Amino acid sequence: MDQRWRPTVNEREFIEQALQSDLRVDGRRPFDFRKLTISFGREDGSAEVLLGETCVMGYVTAQLVPPYKDRPNEGTLAIFTEFSPMADPAFEPGRPGEAAIELGRVIDRGLRESRAVDMESLCVVAGKHVWAVRVDLHILDNGGNLIDAANIAALAALSTFRRPECTVGGDDGQQVTVHDPEVMDPLPLTIHHLPIAVTFAYFGDGNIMVIDPTYKEEAVMGGRMTATINSNGDVCAIQKAGGEGVMSSVIMQCLRIASVKAADITSKIKTKVDKYTTEKALQKVKRTPAIVAKEVNVPDVTMKESTHSAMENQTSKAPNDGQQISEGDENHQNTKMISTLTADRTVKHKQTPTSVGGPSN
């Protein structure tokens, strides 16, 4: 494959002399990664990784297929890569080139040989129906170190993928029904660990090495090695793509450095995946509209205000009622006194004729 950038003799010497002084063209240290950005799409199983100027998008799909005869209880996992001329003028459309085949094999070896994804959990009916998981990796921009960026994109997409739920029934118990996501929640994949690919580039006689090479450094390097390691320090795969020979002591040093970098990248992937999962869960929660809450609160406020006003009215009416009661008592006493005086006068008037008529007889 032709390089997208052909360095001149002076440019090659400048890059090599800078590396001998522990300096790189982009200002990084020899064992520093470029800025890593992970973003997810609207659908589950879609991830886009930006590693410096390198951009890779991963998309995961699944379908029910018959299993392999030698493994009737296990599903399948396949990696497919697409190199578009939009990412690099050196990429040709059509059949995949050597770089595309190598990229797919390195990532496939790191995932399948380490059994990072539980294949037995993808079995629906043993010997008849299993889930075939497919990971499509699209190279959007080639800024160097495609293997590491594509590996992270594949892991991020697999971590957020949800396969449809299915049930087995029928008269013979072999009929499979795939349910819609709105009917039954999809299920995530069972991932035991995350194998992280860390690529080293060698310069000179193999004594100078850097990680995460750019496309300019790839045009000058004398060899390359990719170590796939998980956060526990387990070596999942090693790929040495020709070039200059490397001492065993240098390889052991690379593995120790790769173990530290793998733990850091694993933490970043899990943080992004947890954030994405939380946001998705919140979107599914049905919340009561704010208008209903206001309608519920309005009667309570009205009742409190009406009760308060009624109490004020009763308090204000209390003195008037007392005045009315006192005035009624006075009127009743006056009427009683008048009736008493009238009765006394009547009695006296009746007694006067009787007393006068007595002496005359």
Mean pLDDT, the chain, integer: 80
Residue 300's pLDDT is: 47
H or E stretch covering 271: helix 248-284
Residue 328 lies in a domain: no
Residue 313 lies in a domain: no
Question: Residue 218 pLDDT > 70, yes or no?
Answer: yes
Question: Residue 20 pLDDT > 50, yes or no?
Answer: yes
Bigger pLDDT: 316 vs 217: 217
Q: DSSP character for 179?
A: P
Question: Residue 290 pLDDT > 80, yes or no?
Answer: no
Average pLDDT over residues 200-204: 88
Domain extent, residue 227, equals 26-287
299-354: per-residue pLDDT in tens?
Answer: 444 444 444 555 555 544 444 444 444 444 555 555 555 555 455 544 444 444 44
25-62: per-residue pLDDT in tens?
Answer: 888 998 999 999 999 988 899 999 999 999 999 999 99
Rounded percentage of the chain residues whose pLDDT exceeds 70:
77
Residue 140 lies in a domain: yes
User: Which of 95, 213, 234 is closest to 149 using CA atoms?
Assistant: 213
Query: What is the spatial distance between Cα 217 and Cα 19, in angstroms, rounded to a whole number?
Result: 10
Residue 331 lies in a domain: no
Residue 310 lies in a domain: no
CATH code (residue 257): 3.30.230.70
Average pLDDT over residues 84-96: 79
Q: Domain tally for the chain?
A: 1
Residue 270 lies in a domain: yes
Query: What is the spatial distance between Cα 78 and Cα 112, in angstroms, rounded to a whole number?
Result: 9
Name the burial class of residue 150, with classes exposed (0-12), middle (13-18) and buried (19+) by CB atoms within 10 angstroms of its CB.
buried
Average pLDDT over residues 110-123: 91
Residue 338 lies in a domain: no
Residue 333's pLDDT is: 55
Question: Residue 279 pLDDT > 70, yes or no?
Answer: yes
Confidence category of residue 208, pLDDT binned at 50, 70, 90? confident
48 beta partners: 39, 57
Residue 318 lies in a domain: no
Q: Where are the beta strands (DSSP E) in 102-245?
A: 123-125, 129-141, 162-163, 166-169, 175-178, 187-188, 196-203, 208-211, 223-229, 235-243
pTM of the model: 0.75
